[in-house]
Chain A
Amino acid sequence: MNFKTPRPRRLRSAHSSLNAHGEAWVWLTGGSLALAIAMITGLLLFIMIRGASTFWPAAMELVELKDGRAVLGEITGREDFIDRSNGTAMHVARKLVRTANFDITGNHYEWFDEGAIASTSRPEWGTAVERMEGGRFHGFPLRILDKERVVAEGASQTWQAFQEMHPAARKRFREALWIDRHDRGALQRRLRAARLAVVQADLNAGRESRAYLSAVVAEKAVIASVAEQSMALDAKTASLRDQNAGWGVEFVTASGEKTILPLALIVRAWQPNRLSTAGKCGVYFSRWWEFLADDPREANSAGGVFPAIWGTVAMTLIMALLVAPFGVLAALYLREYAVRGPMTTAIRIAINNLAGVPSIVYGAFGLGFFCYVLGASIDDLFFKASLVADNQPTFGTGGLLWASLTLALLTLPVVIVATEEALSAVPNSMREGSYACGAGKWQTIRRIVLPRALPGIMTGLILAMARGAGEVAPLMLVGVKKLAVELPIDGTFPFVHPEREFMHLAYLIYDVGFQSPNSQAARPMVFTITFLLVAIIALLNVSAIWFRSRLQRRYIAQHF
């Protein structure tokens, strides 16, 4: 083709538009990212600061009011509000003081109008005491008593004697507690196992059978040996408790009430106004240690969260172990084997929709299917004795295994979708190259496709773990309990007990924050638990990401 008169070439403008440079879009995209980052870091920082500062020993303030009352406490907040009580609106500032001494005043915290405060000071001997029961106590040490006998008198002597005697008393107390909780628990379990063996023999073979008779004999032997051992334990705990009995520290509160606190029931005491920074750090870390390593006390609002950490990590890992093979295999079939058509499209849409089903529905399904159908059949087959004798299901109720399975189901869509993405990102030319070498389908998948897709699959797994670890609603139905100090792993046969109920940090947040009888005292704990949960999830993710980047370096190098 040729034109008679060639069309003149269009002259292009010498100026380039803003659009061509893309500045507007840089600002828009960068701005939305900045907004997202600001919100996320804001939230995380808030949680972190509140969570990390919970255990810092704050200064002890003696607040003297104009009406003559005096309280000793930590000032934890201040706010301006409008007081309309006198008919006219007035701006008033008030302070929130953690007054403690719930058993005396009926409050943990109290608000004081700034106008009503005569003076505040930081008395040297102001002491904060954490007790086993009854919450915190604030006061001044008076003397140490052994029943009626005064052992030490006066603040400084009392404090010195307290610090000398407290660790030993505490050790005895904990030893007795450990015996009660764990050693006696083990004996109880042995008794129960022997009793159930009898019931089982009855069920299996009837009362006339040899098996039944020998089970009865065995039970008698167990009862005898348990009785003997429990006598020994009784003697031991009695002696431990005797040594602690009668020892007490007498305190006087700011308002003048005198109270004797049993020495062994004091978890720890500190005098923040006398502590150096190093000393404060000592208190801080000892409280963190208790938090991480101990069992909870006082309806979870104090003490540690160790069982919950254990439960969260175990459940998340078991869930990942369950969901990974299922999700990857399902995605492999869908992407590599299934013939593409309306059927696969429908399945894909269904899977994507599953990701949007409310998690409580999964919980209900887990309870209905795993616990009541699957678990009940397992009980029927293997654990009938417990059901008959104690009317107590073994697998037929919520537990670690069922919770992990439920969450695996919940996160399955995430893993399938991510795996499918990763598989479809494997270049077809690699598959063809492998087939051209004479490899079969499975060889190609195993040697070429899966290794290349592994980093993407890991991404899916990381997302699934993060989602699963933060889930609460379905867990409430399938095995998470407010308090379950018995870990699903212990020294009694068969050592692993996946049917046991467990504790979970996310549920603990809900429980401590919203179910606690005294939410204000528990609030600092909520932040700390949240902080811990976020940290654990971050730790799991970071290790998975580290693993993934190692894989990535091996399988997806850049080239030009």
Chain B
Amino acid sequence: MPSQSTLSREMLVNAKAAHDQAAAQPSADRLLAVAAGHEVPSEVHEQVLAENPVLEIDRFNLWYGSKQALHGITMPIPNNKVTALVGPSGCGKSTLLRSVNRLNDLVQSVRITGDMRLNGDSIYDPRMDVIDLRKRMGMVFQKPNPFPMSIYENVVYSLRIDGENNRGVLDEVCELSLRGAALWDEAKDRLHDSALGLSGGQQQRLCIARAIAAEPEVLLLDEPCSALDPIATGKVEELIQELRGRYSVLIVTHNMQQASRTSDYTAFMYLGRLIEYGPTTEIFTKPILRETEAYVTGRFG
């Protein structure tokens, strides 16, 4: 699409300009500068811009009341690729994720500027139907949040609200999704028991199954594995590998190994800013910034 590619060009130019500006003050530690409240440009690798974006975040600012939580985030999310968001706690990863499907609309104090586009449709356009928008995305939250109903009904919830009542379709979707979330074997004999009787880790996998049941265009995963044991984590990572190429996945994680194993691209955020964004291999082996290297290798601070 021409409009998209021109936009990517424009962003590339912006990024370049920012890069040059940063180079003009070479001695500054960017993280300290951010902490001091200075504007700091993001380092965005060229490979990202060369990709076909499914989601474009464009100079996005967000305030909780008078406190700014996101500062001018500009990043394209490549189509059918896995993009990881890393950064220290409280840097705004969840906030960014929740802005993508406009869940932040529910928080009364939130104010935003800038825009995001999903396959070219403006997300924050007043004419955008939020419900349609959310139907195009699936989300898994940091804390498992199963609904107070049976496991089966949890999984097929998005189909139910669309009015799907065909038992055959529902059964099939339920099994596929539960298998995808590595929960089928544990849950197949108790599909009609309350989902609240599952363990924390099982609940989280149930939420993953729920998110993929509707086959969304974009999958937003907010630390999906923080409550899981290594085996379940491995299964979820496998699932993400399977989804790669079919879905666009945006995943928040605190686990650097996980980010390097599962993702194609990695973005490093700090205090509401995007610091560096590029192919995962580059971010983990030869990042542009020392700060990024320090963070991903665990020598942060």
Contacts and interface: CB of A to CB of B under 8 A. Distances in A.
Interface of A: 339-340, 427, 429-440, 443, 447-448, 451-452, 553-560
B131 interface: yes
Given A557-B197, A559-B199, A435 B147 contact: no
Contacts of B131: 438-440
Given A557-B197, A559-B203, 10 more contacts: A430-B145, A432-B145, A433-B145, A433-B147, A437-B138, A437-B158, A555-B194, A556-B196, A558-B196, A559-B200
A289 to B, nearest CB: 45
Given A447-B161, A556-B196, A557-B194, A436 B138 contact: yes
B196 A435 contact: no
6 closest A-B pairs by CB: A438-B135, A557-B196, A429-B145, A436-B139, A555-B148, A433-B145
A250 to B, nearest CB: 73
A249 B17 CA distance: 119
Contacts of B162: 438
22 contacts: A339-B108, A429-B143, A430-B147, A435-B103, A435-B106, A436-B141, A437-B138, A437-B158, A437-B161, A438-B132, A439-B131, A440-B161, A448-B147, A451-B148, A451-B149, A553-B194, A554-B148, A554-B194, A559-B200, A559-B203, A560-B199, A560-B200
B134 A435 contact: yes
B138 A448 contact: no
Contacts of A440: 131, 161
Nearest to A438: B135
B228 to A, nearest CB: 15
Chain A, interface SS category: helix
Contact of A556 (B134, B148, B157): B148
A438 B148 CA distance: 17
Interface string B106-123: 101000000000000000
Nearest to B139: A436
B134 A436 contact: yes
A443 B160 CA distance: 10
B210 interface: yes
B269 interface: no
A100 B158 CA distance: 76
Contacts of B207: 433
A447 B158 CA distance: 11
Contact of A436 (B103, B149, B197, B200): B103
A21 to B, nearest CB: 32
B22 interface: no
Contacts of B200: 559-560
Given A435-B103, A436-B137, A436-B138, A443 B161 contact: yes
B94 to A, nearest CB: 11
Nearest to B160: A447
B191 interface: no
A204 B138 CA distance: 66
B198 interface: yes
B214 interface: yes
Interface string B88-131: 00000000000001010010100000000000000000000001
A448 B148 contact: yes
A255 to B, nearest CB: 74
Nearest to A448: B147
Of A433, A440, A447, A451, the most chain B CB neighbours within 10 A belong to A433
Nearest to A557: B196
A557 B135 CA distance: 29
A437 B194 contact: no
A555 B145 CA distance: 13
Contact of A430 (B101, B148, B160): B148
A553 B211 CA distance: 26
B108 A340 contact: yes
A436 B147 contact: no
A438 B129 CA distance: 10
A340 B138 CA distance: 29
A429 B143 CA distance: 8
B182 to A, nearest CB: 19
A432 B103 contact: yes
B151 to A, nearest CB: 12
Given A433-B145, A433-B207, A437-B214, A559 B157 contact: no
A431 B272 CA distance: 26
Nearest to A551: B148
A440 B162 CA distance: 10
Interface string B143-155: 1011111000000
Contacts of A434: 147, 157
Contacts of A340: 108
Given A559-B198, A559-B203, A438 B214 contact: yes
B126 to A, nearest CB: 18
Contacts of A559: 196-200, 203
